[in-house]
């Protein structure tokens, strides 16, 4: 089985909610998706995707993804898509980094592999687990009442967890507003629900500690990606009474090993395109599992293709450690 042709397509994915807001005043209305089809000599066609969350989330942007694919695609023509580590080696030989671009090829290889074998990708990734995958919503920054209403709508749609975006600037209301947002989102909490307060690296240790001081005692929530640097995160970790899950800071194996060695967090957000595809995500899942870390399986954003990759990874992740999977659509 050999790769014979790769085609790259572009699509705009409009945000259904109008405007999505993150810490630092970041706003998004649409996302630039790169969709890739990978054709093989046995007739199999695998599909992959990479849709960066704008250009200020991690070091990736849509134009860069497609430019990188001009280098990466020729390097894997003629290779067996089922030999995932060899595909990674070939891509790394011609281009350092650029995990988001490599993801599109990697995911397409897994899709082609599954189709050729007549197996679901989750079975190739270790085997499906019969229990359902809990899916988490993403609640953009807004007024506390609007965010509470958004949680209610997502709950009614079947979401078992909710990622609440925080990181208000001082002029906007600062830590006091973030504490109100969290309390509002948790006000109608149902049994079995799981909550993240996600700053996307947009807060300082000082602002997080001020926010925590204004939350009611016993608030059950996990703080995700509070700060932009390791120094800030480790400083906060030593003083934070709530669990911490890291996302943007963990982009490769070395980052994850560093987080474990420094006891920087209790869990990790595995985003398929941030990690570099399903091959890298599977490896990092094993590392995190060995350390007893909980996981949220996600991607930055994307279409049905991205969501399919997330679900196959989540479906094969032990439920003891899987907290949720994100629907990025």
Active site residues: 165, 271
H/E stretch holding 28 reads strand 27-28
**Residue 36, SS3 per DSSP:** strand
CA–CA distances in Å: residue 185 to residues 17, 71, 90, 182, 219:
18, 45, 46, 5, 11
Phi, then psi, of 161 in degrees rounded to 5: -140, 165
Closest CA to 278 of 119, 95, 109: 109
DSSP line for 179-239: HHHHHHHHTT--TT-EEEEE-TT---HHHHHHHHHTSPTT---EEES--SSHHHHHHHHTT
Closest CA to 161 of 137, 178, 133: 137
CA distance 290 to 211: 32
Strands 194-198 and 222-224: parallel
Burial class (CB in 10 A: 0-12, 13-18, 19+), 43: exposed
Q: How many CB atoms lie within 10 A of CB 256?
A: 24
CA distance 107 to 48: 5
């Amino acid at each position: 089985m050999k790769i014979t042709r790769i085609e790259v397509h572009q699509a705009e994915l409009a945000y259904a909610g109008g405007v999505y807001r993150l810490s630092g005043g970041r706003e998004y209305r649409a996302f630039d998706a790169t969709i890739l089809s990978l054709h093989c000599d046995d007739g199999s066609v695998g599909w992959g995707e990479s849709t960066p969350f704008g250009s200020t989330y991690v070091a990736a942007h849509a134009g860069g993804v497609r430019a990188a694919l001009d280098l990466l695609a020729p390097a894997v023509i003629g290779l067996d898509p089922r030999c995932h580590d060899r595909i990674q080696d070939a891509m790394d030989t011609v281009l350092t980094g650029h995990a988001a671009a490599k993801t599109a090829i990697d995911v397409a290889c897994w899709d082609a592999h599954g189709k050729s074998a007549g197996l679901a990708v989750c079975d190739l990734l270790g085997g499906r687990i019969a229990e359902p995958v809990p899916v988490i919503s993403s609640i953009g920054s807004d007024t506390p009442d609007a965010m509470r209403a958004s949680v209610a709508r997502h709950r009614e749609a079947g979401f078992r967890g909710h990622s609440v975006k925080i990181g208000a600037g001082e002029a906007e209301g600062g830590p006091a507003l973030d504490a109100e947002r969290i309390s509002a989102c948790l006000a109608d909490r149902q049994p079995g629900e799981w909550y993240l307060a996600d700053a996307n690296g947009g807060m300082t240790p000082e602002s997080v500690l001020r926010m925590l001081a204004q939350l009611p005692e016993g608030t059950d929530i996990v703080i995700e990606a509070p700060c932009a640097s390791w120094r800030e995160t480790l400083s906060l970790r030593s003083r934070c009474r709530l669990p911490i899950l890291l996302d943007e800071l963990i982009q490769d194996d070395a980052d994850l090993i560093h987080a474990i060695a420094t006891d920087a967090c209790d869990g990790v957000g595995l985003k398929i395109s941030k990690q570099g595809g399903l091959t890298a995500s599977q490896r990092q899942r094993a590392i995190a599992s060995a350390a007893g870390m909980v996981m949220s399986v996600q991607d930055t954003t994307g279409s049905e293709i991205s969501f399919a990759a997330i679900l196959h990874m989540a479906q094969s992740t032990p439920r003891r450690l899987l907290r949720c999977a994100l629907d990025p659509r």
